[in-house]
Structure 1
Amino acid sequence: MGAHTKASTRGTVRKFKVWRGDAQGGSLEDFEVEVNEGEVVLDIIHRLQATQAPDLAVRWNCKAGKCGSCSMEINGKPRLGCMTRMASFEPDEVVTVTPLRTFPVIRDLVTDVSFNYEKARETPAFAPPPGVPGRDYRMQQVDVERSQEFRKCIECFLCQNTCHVVRDHEENKEAFAGPRYFIRAAELDMHPLDVRTDRKEYAQNEQGLGFCNITKCCTEVCPEHIKITDNGIIPMKERVVDRRFDPIVFLGRKIFRRPEGEGTAPTTATYSSPTWTHHAGEPQPLAAAVGEDGRMPITEITFDRAGAASPFGDDIEFPVDPKSLRYNHPEGVPPTDEVPHPGTGATPDVQG
C-alpha cells in the first residue's frame, strides 16, 4: 500500500478520449487518468480497466512489441499501444485512443482482423526442393539477406490498416491482399530454396499488386521498421513489369526463345481458398545456364526467368558439396553425401 501511495504522488493526471462501443456504434468517452514516468499507452488502458472502466475491451499479449496484438490508433495514427510512450505527447495534450479503422469493430478497441488470416490462407506456402529433407537445406547468408528482413514481421496489421486501398474502399478487400502479403510473396520469390516460379504472376493476378500506388504509408507505421515499399513491393512491381511490359524483354523472347507457351510443364500445385481456385504453370528453363564456351550470357533477356539463372546449372540438387561449386560446373563432378557441418568453419553455408 505504501509503495502504491508513493507512486501515486509522482504521477500526473492526463486527459484521454477512448472509443467505447461495438458493431452497432459507439462514441468517444472522456477519462482523466494518472500517468507515471516511463509508462506507455497500454499501461494507461490497463489502469482504466482497473479503476474506471472494468468492461473496457482491448487485445494484448506480450507488452514487448513482439506479438502485434495491441494494435490501435492513437491520436489518429496506427500504433502499438505497448510501444507508444506517454512522454512522446505534450503534457497538456489530450490522447485519443480508437480501434483500427480498416477492420470491423467487435467491441471497444478490439477489431475483427480475420480478413488478414483469410489472405494468409490464400497465399501459396513455401515450396521446398522436391526430395530434399529439411535438415539438408543449405543457404548462404548472402542469398537470404534480402528476404530475411521480411521475416521480422510481427503481424500487427498496422500496414494493412493504414493502406488506403482497403481503408477507404471496402469493395477492394476481395481482390487486394495488402502490403503484409506483398512482402510475403516477395520473401518467397527471393528465397533461394523456393521452387515456385510464378510468385510475381500470383502477386499481380491474385493479390492485386497493381492496386498499390506505393505511397509508403505502410512503411511509415511498421513498428519493426521493415522497408515494405522500397525493399518488397517496388521490386515485385519491377519484376512484373520486366516480365510483362518491357518491350526489350518482349523482343528478346521473340528473338532468343521459342514461342511463349512451349517448354512449360503443368504443375501439380493447386491454390485453394473459399472463393477461388488457381492453377498455375511453372515455366521450365529453356536455355542453359552457361554457354558452350563455359560462360554465362551477358543479358537476362535470354532467360525464361526474371532473374539470372544459376551459374551452377539448372540440374543442381541439394544438398550440395561446397567443393563442387564452380562457375563452369563441368560435367562429371562426383556426387557426394558429405556436407560439412555448419559449425566446423569449412563452409560459409547456413543451415536453414
Structure 2
Amino acid sequence: MARKLKLRIWRGDATDGGLKNVEVEANDGEVVLDLIHRVQATQMGDLAVRWNCKAGKCGSCSMEINGKPRLACMTQVASFPEGEEITVTPLRAFPVIKDLVTDVSFNYRKAMEIPSYEHPKNLAPGEARMEQIDVERSQEFRKCIECFLCQDVCHVVRDHEENKKSFAGPRFFIRIAELDMHPLDMLKNRKQKAQEEHGLGMCNITKCCTEVCPEHIRITDNAIIPMKERVVDVKYDPVRWLGSKIRKREGIV
C-alpha cells in the first residue's frame, strides 16, 4: 500500500549546499534508492546520485541515511518507523561533487599505494598450488564491493582530514591482510608496511567499520586486530630485540 513520506535531501556542491524537504510516495517493498529516483523523476530533475546495479553488489549508491553510512539500494523504507523523516546526505568523509555524489578518488590513490601480489619467480604459469584452507582464510576479504562505507565511517579520516595522507583506512587494511595471508606471495613485510606506511597503528579498533559493512566482513576482528598483534610480536620479540642490539653493537647493521 502506498504512503506519503517526508524526505530531506542534501543538495549543493563543493562551495555551498543544504537540506531540501520533499514529500514522496512510497510503496511496499521499496528501498531508499527507489524514493530518490522518484524524486529525481518528478520533482528534482537535476538531482545528482550515483548508482548502478541496485542489487547491493556494485557499491555505487553509498550515502548517509539518517546519519548512518548505507547503501541506498539495500535500505528498506519499511525499516523506518511510521512518520519518521528520512534524511539523505552525501558521504561526509569525502569532498562533495554535486548533491549526493562525492569524490572518492582518495580511495583509488590509496589502492595504488598497496604493492600487488608478487608471484614466486621459480613457478611457471600453471605450477602454483594452494591448499583449500589457504583459499578460505582470506576469502571473506574478497567479498569487498568497494562501497567505501567503512572508509566514510572511520573517525580517523572522518573527523581528521589531515590523517588522510598517512592512513589507508579499513578497506585497504583488509586488502593488505588478504595479501599477507597468501601463502605464495613473496613480499613478506606487508604487516610492517601497514604499520609504517599505511597508518595501521592509528586504528583504535572501535569496530565502526565492521558495523556498516554491507557484506558483513569482520574487518576489525579478522584483519586489523590480527595484523596489529603480529606487528607487535615482531617488534617486541625479545630474541629479535636482543639480536638487533648485538648486531648494532658489532656494527653488522
TM-score scaled by structure 1? 0.68
Q: Does 1:124 align with 2:115?
A: yes
Aligned to 1:239: 230
Q: Does 1:32 align with 2:23?
A: yes
Shift of 1:253: 5.8
Question: 3-state DSSP class of the match of 2:173?
Answer: helix
Structure 2: distance between partners of 1:176 and 1:99: 21
More helix by share: 2
Structure 1 portions without partners, runs of 5+: 1-9, 263-352
Q: Does 1:176 align with 2:167?
A: yes
Shift of 1:25: 1.1
1:163 paired residue among 154, 159, 166: 154
Aligned to 1:72: 63
Q: Does the CA-based 8 Å contact 1:144-1:190 persist in structure 2? A: no
2:52 paired residue among 61, 71, 77: 61
2:210 paired residue among 213, 219, 224: 219
Describe the shift of the 1:30–1:134 C-alpha distance in structure 2 as closer, same or farther (beyond 3 A): farther
Structure 2: distance between partners of 1:52 and 1:133: 60
Question: 3-state DSSP class of the match of 2:138?
Answer: helix
Deviations 1:143-182 (A, max 9, x none): 2222111000000000000000000000000000001111
Deviations 1:19-50 (A, max 9, x none): 00000110100010000000000011111111
Q: Does the CA-based 8 Å contact 2:234-2:240 persist in structure 1? A: no
Q: Does the CA-based 8 Å contact 1:58-1:110 persist in structure 2? A: yes
| Moved beyond 4 Å, runs of 4+ | none
Structure 1: distance between partners of 2:240 and 2:99: 57
Counterpart of 1:198, as a letter, is N
Q: Does the CA-based 8 Å contact 2:194-2:200 persist in structure 1? A: yes
Q: Does the CA-based 8 Å contact 1:16-1:96 persist in structure 2? A: yes
Q: What are the equivalent positions in structure 2 for 1:142-153 lying under 5 Å apart?
A: 142-153=133-144
Shift of 1:252: 5.4
Shift of 1:254: 3.5
2:191 paired residue among 200, 218, 235: 200
Deviations 1:98-149 (A, max 9, x none): 0000000000000000000000001100111114234322111112222111
Describe the shift of the 1:210–1:253 C-alpha distance in structure 2 as closer, same or farther (beyond 3 A): closer
Q: Does the CA-based 8 Å contact 2:235-2:241 persist in structure 1? A: no
Report the RMSD for the aligned CA atoms in angstroms. 1.9
Question: 3-state DSSP class of the match of 1:173?
Answer: helix
TM-score scaled by structure 2? 0.95
Structure 2: distance between partners of 1:253 and 1:104: 44
Structure 2 portions without partners, runs of 5+: none
RCO comparison, higher one (Cα < 8 Å, 6+): 2
Structure 2: distance between partners of 1:145 and 1:89: 37
**CA radius of gyration, larger in:** 1
Sequence identity (%):
69
Counterpart of 1:101, as a letter, is R
Q: Does the CA-based 8 Å contact 1:144-1:192 persist in structure 2? A: no
Aligned to 1:277: none
Question: 3-state DSSP class of the match of 2:18?
Answer: strand
Aligned length: 250
Counterpart of 2:156, as a letter, is V
Counterpart of 1:113, as a letter, is V
Q: Does the CA-based 8 Å contact 2:167-2:199 persist in structure 1? A: yes
Q: Does 1:87 align with 2:78?
A: yes
Aligned to 2:3: 12
